[in-house]
Structure 1
Amino acid sequence: SGYSGNPVVEWVKESHEITRSIILEVVEKAGKGFNVVKKRWVVERTFSWLINYRRHSKDYEVLTRNSEAMIHIAMLHILVKRVA
């Protein structure tokens, strides 16, 4: 639910042509305490893979597009390692 703000919704609408299709789903908190959220592990796992790269441990990049490019490179590296 941390991504439920209007800036994220506007970004998804603007970048729809670039990303082909994004479905923004806001999951409401169900009850008190810890609850398992469907497919959250996919996002958490991907973040942990990215953090393993030293370049992503801190915000070294000046421009956002450079940071995005480094994320693409890291994910391509992960993909190539898994295929090979």
Structure 2
Amino acid sequence: MILVTAADVTDRQAARVMLPRLRERFRKITLVWADGGYTGGLVTWAKEKLWLTLEIVKRSDDMTGFVVLPRRWVVERSLGWLMRSRRLVRDYETQPASSEAFIYWSASMLMARRLARTATSQAVNSLQ
């Protein structure tokens, strides 16, 4: 799910808009990992209203330096892949819908390249 909001919208506010859309579109999803910005009443609200388990992945206080946290690395890695698209590196768009469209475009290009690479390697292997 992608939801681009104005800078003055907090993570918790955006989640109250996005999570019902997620639940409606993807009924089988029952667990959502989130960072510390989503703590508080949102966890209870998601459980009671949407039947979603919102699991907060926190960094412990005794860690120093860079530490890979469980499940959070997936988000960071995905954002890194998306930032390969020049259009997403800077905030060129003035409308949130345009930003969302370019994120979908970037993800589609990434997936298409991977599918093409897989298809090409399978074709080469079948010729051998």
TM, length-normalised to structure 2: 0.53
Structure 2 residue aligned with 1:9:
15
The within-5 A match list for 1:1-84 is 5-16=11-22, 17-18=24-25, 20=26, 21=29, 23=32, 24-34=54-64, 35-84=67-116
Residues 57 and 70 of structure 2 are in contact (CA less than 8 Å); yes or no, is this contact kept in structure 1?
no
Higher Cα Rg, which structure: 2
TM, length-normalised to structure 1: 0.75
Two-structure CA RMSD over aligned residues (Å): 2.2
Code of the aligned partner of 1:76: S
Q: Which has the higher strand share?
A: 2
CA deviations 1:13-63 (Å, max 9, x no partner) are 442324x24624322332322443112221111111111111001111111
Code of the aligned partner of 2:59: K
Q: Which runs of 5+ in 2 are unaligned?
A: 1-9, 33-53, 117-128
Q: Which runs of 5+ in 1 are unaligned?
A: none
Q: What SS does the corresponding residue of 1:25 show, helix, strand or coil?
A: strand
Q: Distance in 2 between matches of 1:77 and 1:5?
A: 27
**Following superposition, which runs of at least 4 residues in structure 1 exceed 6 angstroms of deviation?**
none
